[in-house]
């Protein structure tokens, strides 16, 4: 198991990189969110929503 703090750091890093490939990063982050057994902090949820919005803009 990867420590929770490392997982959160990776999620934030992916969110920072999301403008470069929002669709792929959105898939990765949603898979992580489904598989994690821990409660996702609201700040992370907010970041995930921003990535989803970028993805929608790219498709729209």
DSSP output for 19-60: GGSHHHHHHHHHHHHHH--SPPPHHHHHHHHHHHHHHHHHH-
Tell me the HSE value of 6 on the side-chain side, using a 13 A CA sphere: 3
**Is residue 45 scored above 70 in pLDDT?**
yes
CB 11 within 8 Å of CB 32: yes
**Is residue 59 scored above 80 in pLDDT?**
no
- Give the count of beta carbons closer than 10 Å to the beta carbon of residue 44: 19
- Per-residue pLDDT, averaged over 31-45, amounts to 92
């Amino acid at each position: 198991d990867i420590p929770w703090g490392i997982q959160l750091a990776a999620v934030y890093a992916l969110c920072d990189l999301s403008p470069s490939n929002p669709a792929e990063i959105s898939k990765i982050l949603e898979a992580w969110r489904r598989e994690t057994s821990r409660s996702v902090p609201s700040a992370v949820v907010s970041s995930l929503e921003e990535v989803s919005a970028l993805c929608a803009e790219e498709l729209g």
